Amino acid sequence: MTAERALTPTPTAYRWRWPALTALLLGEAMNLLDATIVQVAAPKIHADLGGSVSDIQWFTTAYTLPFAVLLITGGRLGDIAGRKRLFVIGVTGFMVASAACAVAPTVGLLIAFRVVQGAAAAVIIPQSIGLIKAMFSGPEMSKALGGIGPVMGLAAVCGPVLGGVLTHADLFGSSWRAAFLVNVPVSLIVLAISPRLLENRAPDRPTLDVIGTLLATAGVGLVVYPLIGADLTALPGWSWAAIVAGLCLMAVFAVHQRAVAAAGRSPLVEPSLFAHRGFPAALMTSASFFAVTNGLMTVIVLQLQLGLGTDVLKAGLTLAPWSAGLAVASWVAGAHLVRRYGHRMMSLGLTVLLVGALAAVAVYHEADPHTYPTPLPFALGVVGLGVGLFSPAFFTIALKPLQPREIGSAAGLLNAVQQLGATLGVAVLGSVYLESAGDGGAPAALHAVQVAFRVAVALVLAGFATSRMMTGKNAPDDAGAGH
């Protein structure tokens, strides 16, 4: 990994570093909030703007897909042009795109503006850690980096509830548009503080792999696009052709990355990462895990609002125990349990997640199609506990065997695959739900959410298998696995 430098002054002498940290943490939280707020508000947006029911999936995937494929490029741009500059550009773009989403008169324009939002988020997020390292040193840096987890946990807790509250409140007739407008004042606060950030870039300017970015974007897009709103049991020929073409482009991308590295230039993805047996397994685990968590959140909201007819506030509150369980378990696991139990926490987290998912299936099985399932929030709270127990251990184990020069590329790729998994989860589980529900009313919707949860259970079981591949002979097993 290339050495980095802060331009001036030295971190320990910089008295504005803590206010500047606030701007970075708000920028991170804003992007997580935006995804969860919109998931809860999506059925209301559909009811207002019309269009196909599958557009509900696009309200999320139009954000997470460009976020995923441009995340590594966003980090490389910060290396080249300066992380402070890119952070400010990203926040400004995110604010403008949010305002445009809020006033979008049609579904097509809203989806287009969501794409811009996702691209802006891909510019914002990669800059944070580099800027923190520029402004802090020693124990202060550990403390500053440690602030990211609690802020993300708080954003996860607030997102679904805030989405429900803002949309339900209908302030000044804004309805769902408030879910986007809330980003504007937050962005203005971040921009007001951002002059206090120190500029930071790599001293040896890397090259920008434009061809690699285009190959990755086209490949992932061709795979994901045919899955959204489709009957996955009867995909037409053009869908299969697009998926095959996308997979071929991703294979070309892999070859291109090796060629770029061999030529002494800067690849988007460090090829040596795949020499570590556990790292490809970590990518597969990340994709399946985040497909489950984001996909299930989408189908729960769809069943509650479209199938059962509950309002957006109740849908948001239903997800609150999930978010609360995630935040609490993530903090406990990250602060205490991972140090002591190492990779065993991944298996424990997946087990608790599986128990929660099966409990939700049982709740849906016993539920009346026309009545709110009162025990559901308790089952979702167990799901959240599993998610929170798994995540800190997963990222620790995935990065621990790597060389220092590989960490930056690995972290960027893991984050990108996380967003890609979220995109695929919304596409696949959302399509499973919508195809099963059809126009059959509340009974069909109840059956459809059970089908989607069963698919999610299969993905969790796949996650068990791939996570075991991460923890082979050389895997960390004890306190050394901790933070």
Question: What's residue 472's pLDDT?
Answer: 62
Same domain, 279 and 257: no
pLDDT tens digits for range 448-479: 999 999 999 999 999 999 998 887 644 444 44
Of 11-15, 408-412, 443-447, the least confident: 11-15
**What pLDDT score does 11 carry?**
58
Candidates 287, 323, 242, 315; CA nearest to 47 is: 315
Domain-terminating residue out of 226, 246, 265: 265
Tally the domains of the chain: 3
**pLDDT bucket at 355, cuts 50 / 70 / 90:** very high
Mean pLDDT throughout 434-459? 92
Together in a domain, 220 and 187: no
Q: Encode burial over 141-178: b for 16+ CB neighbours within 10 A, e otherwise.
A: beebbebbbebbbbbbbbbbbbbbbbbbeeeeebbbbb
* CB distance 303 to 446 below 8 Å: yes
pLDDT for 4 equals 43
Contact present, 97 and 106 (Cβ < 8 Å): no
Q: How confident is the model at residue 1 (pLDDT cuts 50, 70, 90)?
A: very low
- Residue 61's closest CA among 49, 51, 69? 69
* pLDDT score recorded for residue 474: 43
Instruction: Look at residues 176, 207, 238 and tell me which one is the last residue of a structural domain.
Output: 207
Read off the pLDDT of each residue in 37-63 and give the average, rounded to a whole number: 89
Over range 323-334, report the average pLDDT: 85
In the prediction, which pLDDT does 365 show?
92
* pLDDT tops 70 at residue 331: yes
In a shared domain, residues 203 and 216 = no
pLDDT at 275: 80
Question: Is 293 found in the same domain as 171?
Answer: no
Per-residue pLDDT band at 3 (split at 50, 70, 90): very low
Q: What is the pLDDT of residue 125?
A: 87
330 sits in which H/E element: helix 312-332
For residue 218, the model assigns a pLDDT of: 93
Domain edge (last residue) among 265, 296, 312: 265
**Tens digits of residue pLDDT in 228-254:** 877 787 888 999 999 999 999 999 999
Instruction: Report the amino acid identity of residue 186.
Output: V
Whether residues 242 and 337 fall in one domain: no
Instruction: Compute how many other C-beta atoms are within 10 angstroms of the C-beta atom of residue 443.
Output: 13
Domain that holds residue 90: 1-207
H or E segment to which residue 151 belongs = helix 148-169
249 alpha-carbon distance from chain centroid:
23
Q: What is the DSSP letter of 194?
A: G
Read off the pLDDT of residues 108-163 as tens digits, 9 standing for 90 and up.
Answer: 999 999 999 999 999 998 888 778 877 877 777 767 766 676 677 677 667 788 88
| 403 phi, psi to nearest 5 deg | -75, 155
Query: What's the rounded Cα separation, in Å, for the pair 298 and 154?
Result: 20
User: How confident is the model over 294-305, as pLDDT tens digits?
Assistant: 899 999 999 999
> How much is the average pLDDT of 417-427?
89
- Separation CA 430–CA 231 (nearest Å): 10
Residue 126 CB partners (closer than 8 Å, separation 6+): 71, 72, 74, 75, 78, 412, 415
Query: Do residues 243 and 295 both lie within one domain?
Result: no
54 C-beta neighbours (distance < 10 Å), count: 16
pLDDT-derived band at 401 (thresholds 50, 70, 90) equals: confident
DSSP string, 330-364: HHHIIIIIHHHHTTHHHHHHHHHHHHHHHHHHHHH
CATH number at residue 333: 1.20.1250.20
Task: Give the rounded percent of residues in the chain with a pLDDT score beyond 70.
Answer: 91
Model confidence at 403: pLDDT above 90: no
Number of H helices and number of E strands within the chain? 18, 2
pLDDT given for residue 158 in this prediction: 78
Q: Are 399 and 279 found together in one domain? A: yes
- The pLDDT assigned to 228 comes to 85
Residue-level pLDDT at 476: 42
Residues 219 and 310 grouped into a single domain: no
Q: Per-residue pLDDT for 434 more than 80?
A: yes
Across the range 261-268, mean pLDDT stands at 84
Percent residues over pLDDT 90 in the chain: 40
- 160 and 13 part of one domain: yes
Same domain, 242 and 173: no
Distance from CA of residue 448 to its chain's centroid?
A: 24
Going by pLDDT thresholds of 50, 70 and 90, the confidence category of residue 279 is confident
Tell me the per-residue pLDDT of 157-214, one tens digit each, with 9 for 90 and over. Answer: 677 888 888 888 888 888 899 989 999 999 999 999 999 888 877 666 777 888 998 9
| Stretch 359-372: mean pLDDT | 93
Residues in the chain: 483
Q: Please, what is the average pLDDT of the chain?
A: 85
Mean pLDDT of 258-265: 87
Do 244 and 374 fall into the same domain?
no
Question: Do 214 and 203 fall into the same domain?
Answer: no
Span 80-105, average pLDDT: 93
Instruction: Write the single-letter amino acid at 189.
Output: I
**For residue 482, is pLDDT > 60?**
no
